[in-house]
Amino acid sequence: MFEQHLLPPISRDISGHAIHQHIRALFPILRSITGKGIVETLQYISAQIKNFSTTSVASGDLVFDWTVPKEWNVSSAKLMNKHKNIIIDINDSTLHILQYSLPFNGLVSREELEEHLFTLPNQPDLIPYKTSYYTENWGFCLSENQKKKLTDTHYYVDIDATLAPGFLTYGEVLIPGESDEEFLFSIHCCHPSLANDNLSSLAIAIELIRKLQDLPERRLSYRFLFLPGTIGSITWLARNSDKTKNIKNGLVLSCLGDKGPFTYKKAREDSASINTLMSKLLSRQSTARIWDFEPYGYDERQYCSPGFNLPVGCLMRSPNGTFPEYHTSADNLDFVTPDALESSFSLLADLITITENSLYPVSTSPYGEPQLGKRGLYPLQHEALKTDEIRDDLPDQLGLLWALNLSDGKNSILDIASRAQRSFRSILYAVGLLQKAGLLKLYGREQAQPFPTP
Ligand code: ZN
């Protein structure tokens, strides 16, 4: 029997403003699933953390049932009137260009132009985000109000873009721990200037990686993937299918900067451990939502495809497609708040604290309650008691009694926190006090043994 020790909680002391700063830095870049924008984004991430690597896969390579697309780059895109006055310009918003637009230069009639304009008639001030990755086209995205002003008979279109054989690039960092068992975090990074849908989770992931890399000790290994949506995760899976056996838990992260409550979308297999973890982690947040798996949404679709069926769920605040700012110019720097980013970071820091301390306490004095008074644990000599409040990060008397009572080798620290309706940190602290007093020992799940007879 190998007795284990507690690892300290992951520090939550990160300012939401620091996370927001990453989003501000990355917001202006015109990203897509391939091209210079996503490469520049990966370079930014690389400058923030250690051991980040990128992989470039050639256009035309087969990845399962898909083909890596041509690389798209755009240097300018303008719509002008017949006097060559600029009306729409990607310098004003990266959303103005239909993603994967072919190059086009020439005079077109208003009727022809209209076939290539994309607006949101029900949200007339907003510019939509539209893509045409796998159908060749060109086009502009603009607000309905901008479109209404286009009353001339002809317009000049000048799209200086290339769609040519090149590369699809993704980024990756593995933070090794004692065990090869991995926790996977997957973040798509192919959207242009959209703050909540992809930049929020990307920015939080940077800070999470920094915290993990600074830990003196880790039990698990952590892999972070920064990929273009869909084709990126399919490409990674096609090239790394041998690594998937180590993935014991995983989360796709997206939309973590808005003010909505947390939403966890389950991994495909109902009994997946990530589903239990997230349900327990969110159980004390009355507004949090737990959704069943469905084969729609982000890259969990690929990780949970039947051949892989990985234990990977999806964590969001407001889910994709459910908020009016989604995929529009209103998903901007004001839509994501430092407070929301900070609380999303804290939740993930707690999740890592939980997975690093997935231990099973066993009482050393299970027959009758041990005498706590003589050990300074009854009444609990603790500042939490002096203020008579239950604090999230400090144990209270009843929480400590729960920890002692459920230390039977069958309940993990998380199970105890969940049953006691206390925060994980509070029960972790209580378990630490009890271990220090010699009243319990900690084991991994397989090592926890039944009590000796009295
Ligand atoms: Zn999206």
Domain limits, the chain: 16-69+167-356, 72-164, 360-443
Beta-carbon contacts of residue 112 (< 8 Å; ≥ 6 apart): none
Cα(273) to centroid of ligand 1, in Å?
Answer: 27
Q: Alpha-carbon distance 140 to 120, whole Å?
A: 12
- 196 Cα to the center of ligand 1, angstroms: 9
Query: How much distance in Å is there from the Cα of 124 to the middle of ligand 1?
Result: 20
**Distance from the CA of 420 to the center of ligand 1, in angstroms?**
38
431 Cα: distance to centroid of ligand 1 (angstroms): 42
The tens-digit pLDDT sequence of the chain (454 residues) is 589 999 999 988 899 999 999 999 999 999 999 999 999 999 999 999 999 999 999 999 999 999 999 999 999 999 999 999 999 999 999 999 999 999 999 999 999 999 999 999 999 999 999 999 999 999 999 999 999 999 999 999 999 999 999 999 999 999 999 999 999 999 999 999 999 998 999 999 999 999 999 999 999 999 999 999 999 999 999 999 999 999 999 999 999 999 999 999 999 999 999 999 999 999 989 999 999 999 999 999 999 999 999 999 999 999 999 999 999 999 999 999 999 999 999 999 999 999 999 999 999 999 999 999 999 898 887 655 555 555 677 888 899 999 999 999 999 999 999 999 999 999 999 999 999 999 999 999 988 887 888 8
d(CA 220, ligand 1 centre) in Å: 30
Kindly give the distance from the C-alpha atom of residue 191 to the centroid of ligand 1, in angstroms, as a whole number: 7
CATH numeric code, 360-443: 1.10.10.10
Q: Which of 281, 340, 335, 336 is nearest to 313 (CA)?
A: 281
Cβ distance 446 to 374 under 8 Å? no
Backbone angles phi, psi at 283, to 5 degrees: -65, -25
SS3 category, 259: coil
Q: What architecture (CATH level 2) is domain 16-69+167-356?
A: 3-Layer(aba) Sandwich (3.40)
| Cα of 327 from ligand 1 centre, angstroms | 6
Distance CA 226, CA 169 (A): 9
Q: How many CA atoms lie within 13 A of 64 on its CB side?
A: 16
**Cβ contact 435:442 at 8 Å:** yes
CATH class of 72-164: alpha beta
CA dist 340 and 175 (Å) reads 26
Least Cα distance to 361 among 415, 397, 425, 280 occurs for: 415
Task: Give CA–CA dist 302/238, Å, rounded.
Answer: 11
Residue 441 Cα to ligand 1 midpoint, Å, equals: 47
d(CA 212, CA 214): 5
Gap from CA of 450 to ligand 1 centroid (Å):
50
Identity at 155, one-letter amino acid code: Y
Q: What is the 377 CA–ligand 1 centroid distance (Å)?
A: 51
Q: How far is the CA of 186 from the centre of ligand 1 (A)?
A: 14
Residue 451 alpha carbon to ligand 1 centre in Å = 52
Query: What is the C-alpha separation between 48 and 202, in angstroms, rounded?
Result: 12
Rounded distance between C-alpha atoms, residue 231 and residue 189, angstroms: 12
In DSSP terms, 224 is beta-bridged to 173, 185
- Angle (CA) 250 180 176, round 5°: 85
**Which is nearest to 42 in space by CA: 52, 28, 30?**
52
Say how many Å lie between the CA of residue 390 and the centre of ligand 1: 40
Determine the distance separating the centroid of ligand 1 and the alpha carbon of 10, expressed in angstroms: 30
Evaluate whether 300 touches 313 at the Cβ level (below 8 Å).
yes
- For residue 197, report the distance from its CA to the centre of ligand 1, in Å: 5
Expressed in angstroms and rounded, the spacing between residue 425 Cα and the centre of ligand 1 is 34
Cis peptide bond prior to 366, omega within 30° of 0:
no
Q: In what order do the strands lie in the sheet with 167-175?
A: 53-58, 167-175, 221-227, 182-188, 247-253, 312-316, 263-265, 289-291
